[in-house]
């Protein structure tokens, strides 16, 4: 299993903090956000390699960060060659970039580089592996009707299969939302190539999940604990004050 951390965004909503510095390397409790993610990842079994995909603007920042990591797992930093918000590939575009430009013959666990969470990833991986060649997404109950319009909203059946997916609905019967956490078995990766060929925009990963649900079974694994989706100055400072790593 390989891990892919998405870190190629430009985080314009966090300006000026991220005008010359990547969001995943912002410090929370004196530790880069991405390093908090790494501390969860290295606990996984069958871990072969961690891949970080970033852009040309911040490539050297991540290479320097990777050089200072003190972990046994191999860490590779890839440059998607974009230079600005205007030419970025987007989340699905970057996943497609990696699977087409890097030797992958493994299941792929994808994590957003701006996610802060307290839960253990082991249960998510165990759940996902039981689903064979089907893809799995991490889901989280935000328990707030007013916030669902900012996320992809999920409805699951009793076994955890996604039966409804709405991208940023104004109202929803569910407060269970899709996180930027995905398990894509090796044999499912061709769906990403198909999607990219059929669509002009590859930014919103929720649109891909909605499309994928129409092609095959997709599963949701509900994760419990603390989760921060760091999208702007307010959410960043809230996480900086309240986050406690377990």
Q: What does the pLDDT look like over 194-246, one tens digit per residue?
A: 999 887 665 678 889 999 999 999 999 999 888 988 888 998 998 888 887 76
Determine if the pTM surpasses 0.85.
Answer: yes
Q: Which domain holds residue 83?
A: 2-242
The whole-angstrom separation of Cα 7 and Cα 34 is: 9
Distances (CA, A) of 2 to 5, 21, 73, 172, 206: 10, 26, 10, 34, 22
Surface-to-core class of residue 186, CB atoms within 10 Å of its CB (0-12 exposed, 13-18 middle, 19+ buried): middle
Residue 200: predicted pLDDT: 66
- The total number of structural domains in the chain stands at 1
pLDDT digits (tens, 9 = 90+) for 5-33: 999 999 888 899 899 999 999 999 889 99
Tell me what pLDDT residue 203 has: 63
CA atoms of 215 and 167, how far apart (whole Å): 17
d(CA 174, CA 154): 7
Q: Under a CB-based contact definition with an 8 Å cutoff, are residues 200 and 193 in contact?
A: no
Q: Across 81-150, where does the E strand assignment appear? A: 108-112, 115-117, 135-141
Across 8-17, 38-47, 58-67, 101-110, the highest mean pLDDT is recorded for: 58-67
Six-digit token string for 39: 């501390």
Take residue 45 and report the two structure tokens written for it: 């079994």
Q: Can you tell me the mean pLDDT for 35-53?
A: 93
Q: Which CATH number goes with the domain that contains 123?
A: 3.90.550.10
How far apart are alpha carbons 165 and 87 in whole angstroms?
28
Rounded to an integer, the average pLDDT of 126-136 is 94
């Amino acid at each position: 299993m390989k891990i892919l951390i998405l870190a190629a965004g430009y985080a314009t909503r966090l300006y000026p903090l991220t005008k010359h510095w990547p969001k995943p390397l912002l410090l929370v409790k004196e530790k880069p956000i991405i390093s908090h993610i790494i501390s969860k990842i290295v606990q996984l079994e069958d871990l072969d390699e961690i891949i970080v995909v970033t852009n040309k603007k911040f490539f050297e920042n991540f290479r320097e960060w990777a050089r200072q990591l003190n972990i046994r797992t191999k860490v590779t930093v890839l440059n998607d060659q974009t230079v600005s918000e205007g030419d970025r590939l987007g989340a699905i575009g970057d996943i497609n970039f990696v699977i087409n430009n890097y030797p992958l013959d493994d299941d792929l666990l994808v994590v957003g580089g701006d996610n802060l969470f307290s839960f253990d990833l082991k249960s998510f991986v165990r759940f996902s592996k039981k689903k064979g060649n089907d893809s799995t997404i991490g889901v989280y109950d935000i328990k707030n009707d007013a916030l669902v319009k900012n996320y992809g909203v999920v409805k699951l059946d009793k076994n955890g299969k996604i039966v409804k997916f709405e991208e940023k609905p104004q109202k929803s019967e569910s407060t269970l939302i899709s996180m930027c956490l995905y398990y894509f078995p090796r044999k499912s990766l061709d769906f990403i190539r198909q999607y990219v060929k059929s669509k002009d925009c590859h930014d919103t990963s929720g649109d891909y999940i909605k499309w994928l649900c129409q092609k095959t079974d997709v599963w949701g694994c509900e994760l419990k604990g603390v989760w921060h989706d760091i999208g702007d100055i307010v959410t960043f400072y809230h996480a900086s004050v309240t986050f406690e790593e377990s």
